[in-house]
Structure 1
């Protein structure tokens, strides 16, 4: 196989994956990186778009912005006193567990996103920073592009904290790398801003063997990526996106493997930020739930999946100080069942649940979307479906014998039938 063929096929992606990601060491050789970059960038469909985008580069793109903030300082996570983070070497990994019993309805955590992106189809209708709906008198359009904000505060926040100075005017970037690629770069720039990264870069550059920023950033902290289970074709897509991002903004090519890892982390950890839209039709009010965008929540990402979860995620439930409305991006984790013992894992559903899908269908969906095989209690226990129905659907006791509803389905007798 010729060198040129080798670097443009899924076989190359598979070899690259086994070489560089199997041991979680993501560093392409300079020769491999440059050759693949050349093959991607020589395609006319990419060349034309890159030329148009590069014309918009400004002094704001000379190196990633640095605010010298601590990554932990920039997070907004409030964890309840009955929950803690636990490190585990088992399949559970790093997760949340209860430190004491807690009733149903207890709030586990409140959190704002580490990075978020409003879906393109809702731009102009909702604020690009806080995702609030744009209403008459609250429309503030960016002076340099088409993005719209609900207030001057949100516009300033986008420039100061969300790196809009870096992205302003690059509306066509979504056509080139998609929304996932855009969010990937937003997350990377957020990491590059931290003073921890600045310290690591300084140490690298002053060492005996100088390195670069690509060696200092190892992806979003503490988020699983499951790269060992991504297909070679998927990794090749991630690589292409990373190359297009670095080529567009003249970033060092050494960060491309890190951008690959961040894209994998987004697939496994991204939350769809949901809200309920209200519309009047025929004298009746219609409500429908929509996904406004995608967010990365470092605290909520610690929740493992369970097909019969004891917690759920809701968005936008609290009013901010000084505002009369809620923040649609705020994620809240609420207990849906009582936690009865210390050390019980706090789990949410990633989508598939008992009562909606059978076990095989749930496993298939989770394997395809999140790249893991579910081994939760609901998938292990044969009769968990009956217990689920018993505890959630049949809450009223028998009107004749007044036996507790817990055993109503499994231990019924003739007078239950007459009731």
Structure 2
């Protein structure tokens, strides 16, 4: 089930099929809504989330468990019935084996069951021809056409998938459902094998915010985004990658939403980031990650621009070094050990800056160890040593500098020193805004943290300002049921009352 209010399918021989804008749109517009063809909740969340719709379940909620396997928890009889009809009728008696095989294997089995026996028996099992559809094909045909990259897999990897496929075929062919047990095992094997290979390149990780509470005098809540479930969305899988995307994907339980991040014109390709983003990773790291998981070399505009810039700046300029005289950015000369200020043109021997940068990284790593061991006083000492070096070396838009401020803020928060934490979180927000932009989700998440810190340190005016800024961004990209929007609205209402 899906809706394409503002997206259509395009195609060419180079990129294959892709999605493009049906008309011009401003940021925050929904261009695609889709329910998954198949989805599976990660095992560690079975007790805290509904196994079918992925709704969060608290201890006071009434839940329904499968009485046979005792492994699946549902928020309602409707979800239990849907799960039973779609896949649990088969999985229930094989839970131990499926847990051993892993969530990707379970997802492949659910894709197979969604294919339905009649489609499998009549299908020619070949990839659909690349074309621009006047009418959207069935989910079965879309999934059948998803890439597997089988010819790029190692023999060891193919051997592993074959072993898993044989196990899943045995589960299916020995079922009491004659519609499935009557299908030729070789045909089943072909479908299962294809789905297993498709998953790596086409799976979507449904994420959710989970609160981690650490008691340290006061209760400090840290919201972490976790991989809640795995799913296949046939139409969303047509989105191609860009390291500087113009759309963003979010989830409301099982449902996927694609919204514009930037203004797009009619006919523009809609581009989604598969993970490696130009604001978080260098292009060489991005290309390596994309090649290893998705089997292509990214040549998006961000990669092309950054590759050209790296040739100009030099490989060792791994961060935004600044001139000690005017704070202009440094770039490499013909000799990469010599830097030149892009503003005042002063030349620098870079060895000392590189050495200090490497030394700061070692100090930061030591601080991280102290933080993980809850030795916050030592962590703070190390972080501040690191911060002093970073401030002398790096521009305020440096991700490294922002990360250091963010880590210091986290430690102060765990010590209950929320005012000090807010000072460093505010500095982190400056960096995030410079990197990602004033309307980015990355900034919205930082503003949420800053609002919480201002609130906890009783800086009501500042908390209200940050709550409103955060809400203005989240409301562009998220539904009103989003937990972050709910929290910020509650904070805004409370602070309005006490003004």
TM range (shorter): 0.5 to 0.7
1:230 is matched with 153
Q: Is the 8 A contact 1:306 1:348 kept in 2?
A: yes
Name the SS for the 1:275 alignment partner: strand
1:78 is matched with 3
Q: Is the 8 A contact 2:142 2:235 kept in 1?
A: no
Gaps of at least 5 residues in structure 1 are 1-75, 202-216, 317-327, 397-419
Residue-pair matches, total: 289
1:123 is matched with 46
Cα deviation, 1:233-285, whole Å, max 9, x if unaligned, reads: 11111111111222344354302132111111111100111001134543333
In structure 2, the CA distance between the partners of 1:391 and 1:96, relative to structure 1 (3 Å rule), is farther
- Tell me, yes or no, if structure 1 residue 271 matches structure 2 residue 204: yes
* Aligned mates of 2:91, 2:39 — CA distance in 1: 14
- Tell me, yes or no, if structure 1 residue 180 matches structure 2 residue 104: yes
Tell me how large the CA RMSD over aligned residues is.
2.7
The equivalent position to 1:363 in structure 2, one of 287, 291, 299, is 287
* Aligned mates of 1:253, 1:307 — CA distance in 2: 42
* Aligned mates of 1:224, 1:392 — CA distance in 2: 36
Task: State the shift of 1:351 in Å.
Answer: 0.6
Matches within 5 A, 1:114-263: 114-135=37-58, 136-146=60-70, 147-160=72-85, 162-193=86-117, 196-197=119-120, 220-249=143-172, 250=174, 252-254=184-186, 255-263=188-196
The equivalent position to 1:374 in structure 2, one of 281, 287, 298, is 298
Cα deviation, 1:282-314, whole Å, max 9, x if unaligned, reads: 333321111111000111111100011111111
* Aligned mates of 1:121, 1:132 — CA distance in 2: 14
* Aligned mates of 1:111, 1:378 — CA distance in 2: 28
2:226 is matched with 290
* Aligned mates of 1:100, 1:153 — CA distance in 2: 38
* Aligned mates of 2:52, 2:249 — CA distance in 1: 21
Q: Higher relative CO (CA 8 A, sep ≥ 6), structure 1 or 2?
A: 1
Task: State the shift of 1:392 in Å.
Answer: 6.5
Cα deviation, 1:377-396, whole Å, max 9, x if unaligned, reads: 1122246899x999962879
- Tell me, yes or no, if structure 1 residue 329 matches structure 2 residue 236: no
The equivalent position to 1:89 in structure 2, one of 1, 7, 13, is 13
Q: Is the 8 A contact 2:248 2:260 kept in 1?
A: yes
Deviates more, 1:241-250 or 1:276-285: 276-285
Q: Is the 8 A contact 1:314 1:332 kept in 2?
A: yes
Cα deviation, 1:18-70, whole Å, max 9, x if unaligned, reads: xxxxxxxxxxxxxxxxxxxxxxxxxxxxxxxxxxxxxxxxxxxxxxxxxxxxx
In structure 2, the CA distance between the partners of 1:391 and 1:183, relative to structure 1 (3 Å rule), is closer
TM (normalized to structure 1)?
0.64
Q: Is the 8 A contact 1:239 1:260 kept in 2?
A: yes
In structure 2, the CA distance between the partners of 1:355 and 1:305, relative to structure 1 (3 Å rule), is same
- Tell me, yes or no, if structure 1 residue 349 matches structure 2 residue 390: no
In structure 2, the CA distance between the partners of 1:198 and 1:174, relative to structure 1 (3 Å rule), is closer
1:102 is matched with 25
Name the SS for the 1:393 alignment partner: helix
Which one has the bigger helix percentage?
Answer: 2
* Aligned mates of 1:120, 1:360 — CA distance in 2: 34
Gaps of at least 5 residues in structure 2 are 125-139, 175-180, 311-319, 321-396, 399-430, 439-499
* Aligned mates of 1:218, 1:106 — CA distance in 2: 28
Deviates more, 1:139-148 or 1:246-255: 246-255
1:393 is matched with 434
2:241 is matched with 305
* Aligned mates of 1:175, 1:97 — CA distance in 2: 39
